[in-house]
Structure 1
């Protein structure tokens, strides 16, 4: 099996979808602009620095969705897709995914952003298989702010991929694996696959990829 994995934010999208969703909740009046922006910026800086506590972040990031409930949240996400995501879909990224799909590869999006934000985005790319941060649901059937299972963050991406492979009675040796990512946070999975591709790499990944002789792909300019 040819297995092609894509990170999402800053790899297929020139934005961070999780951060952008947070900014969108400010715009639609769901969150206090000053306090939310302060916390969101702090968490984003921790992510870039590789020091993020993903459980703390998800509780914060999903809080407005938890409070608003399913109906309001789903409607708001549809607006987010129209007003934010659609404007940031790059033809180069869409073409790259389609190229692998036409070649018959098994294509997955593997992201540290939660499933609520990312499932509709993966759908736009035509990718059925999504590994994202899974969210627990409370007695009312809606998200309660906690993570379900292993978060697909840093080394957790390797764990989740191994779970995905095992469910299909496969291991790494059974697949010709490729992973596109921009982030040093994805180093564990980049080191695990057969073909790591540093895509729009951040300032720490680029020199490492160059040193190791990994392919570097500047797919588009990041915003």
Structure 2
């Protein structure tokens, strides 16, 4: 029998490793003056958040800590009844991405001999996904989620269980779990805002005791998934719009809210909250955080159990 781990490592190199190469390339382009950020329509009323940690630290250096809670400042918000903390999921709450989430389930379904053909094909398609994602993440997700086309609606629960158990749960950042628990105790509504599929992140939301989830939804027809997304994909400006909707519906002032993200796609959401926190960021978001004085934190996974 062919072991799964080498196959998984190869796919991880394509889906995750290419992201690292992409980040380094962006950094070099920025330094050479050749890099131009992707423009976005001005759909969101934004403000520049110049918040600095109460400890005196700024975003000039990353802020690792045995207790990440030390860097989350909620001073002045204890008396506020209606407040929320908005979290991106992939890369922020978990060391995950939507491509490897699908891969972790798909390899379980395939016969060993089929994997020999499918895995190299999948690795090549990851390169295409990377290119599309670079130019426009919503387009990438609309293309990628066609991978789920034809699956039965009844299979969603079993698929979510496999992906959460084998992929998401072992990759939850311990700092994220600790901070979410603390903020819940302080009266914050916990809201996950993600481009992942709703039924795949449902077990994660339940484990974290999240109050609400904004996620991508696949249209269902005749008992099967079409692969087409319902409505707008939760990324970029759409994330900010959903955050604004939540605040409006719950009578919240976004100045009393916190935001956590890891990529440039989270920027519109981070720009409209009172206190923005950047977690394990990509090169573009890191550069912006440095300029604006946003705390940049490095969250880590819990040590593996022997």
TM-score range, shorter chain: 0.7 to 0.9
Give, in whole Å, the separation in 2 of the partners of 1:76 and 1:146.
18
1:125-167 Cα deviation digits (max 9, x unpaired): 1113001112222243x43222222221111101222233333
State the Cα deviation string for residues 100-124 of structure 1 (Å, max 9, x = none): 0010101101112221322222222
Matched residue pairs, number?
214
1:21 lines up with 2:101 in the alignment: yes
User: Of the candidates 242, 245, 251, which is equivalent to residue 160 of structure 1?
Assistant: 242
Using the alignment, how far apart are the partners of 2:128 and 2:176 within structure 1?
29
For 1:76 and 1:113, locate their aligned partners in 2 and report how far apart those are by CA, in whole Å: 14
What is the rounded CA distance, in whole Å, between the counterparts of 2:131 and 2:281 in structure 1? 17
1:128-167 maps to which residues of 2 (within 5 A)?
128-140=211-223, 142-167=224-249
Between structures 1 and 2, the one with greater strand share: 1
Q: Deviations over 1:77-110 (max 9, x none)?
A: 2122222222212322211110100101011011
Q: Deviation at 1:15?
A: 1.9
Task: State the shift of 1:174 in Å.
Answer: 6.1
Deviation at 1:62, TM superposition (A): 4.5
Max Rg structure: 2
Distance 1:124 1:45 in 2: 33
Structure 1 183/60 Cα, relative in aligned 2: closer, same or farther at 3 Å?
Answer: closer
Distance 1:85 1:195 in 2: 27
Match of 2:256 among 168, 172, 176: 176
Change (3 A) 1:116 1:155: same
Matched, 1:87 2:170: yes
Gaps of 5+ in 2: 1-81, 302-306
Supply the distance in 2 between the matched residues of 1:90 and 1:96 (Cα, whole angstroms).
10
Instruction: Measure the CA separation in 1 of the matches of 2:207 and 2:265.
Output: 25
Match of 2:92 among 11, 28, 47: 11
Find the residue that maps to 2:96 and give its secondary structure.
coil
SS at match of 1:201: coil
Which residue does 1:60 correspond to in 2? 144
Structure 1 stretches of 5 or more lacking a match? none
Partners of 2:299 and 2:201 lie apart in 1 by 20
Q: Normalized against structure 1, the TM-score is what?
A: 0.84
Give the TM-score, by structure 2 length: 0.63
| Distance (Å, rounded) in 2 between the aligned partners of 1:44 and 1:119 | 26
Cα deviation digits, residues 160-217 of structure 1 (max 9, x gap) = 222333333x36x465111010111111111111111111111221121011111212
Q: CA RMSD in A?
A: 2.3
Q: Do the aligned residues in 1 keep the contact of 2:262 with 2:278 (CA within 8 Å)?
A: yes
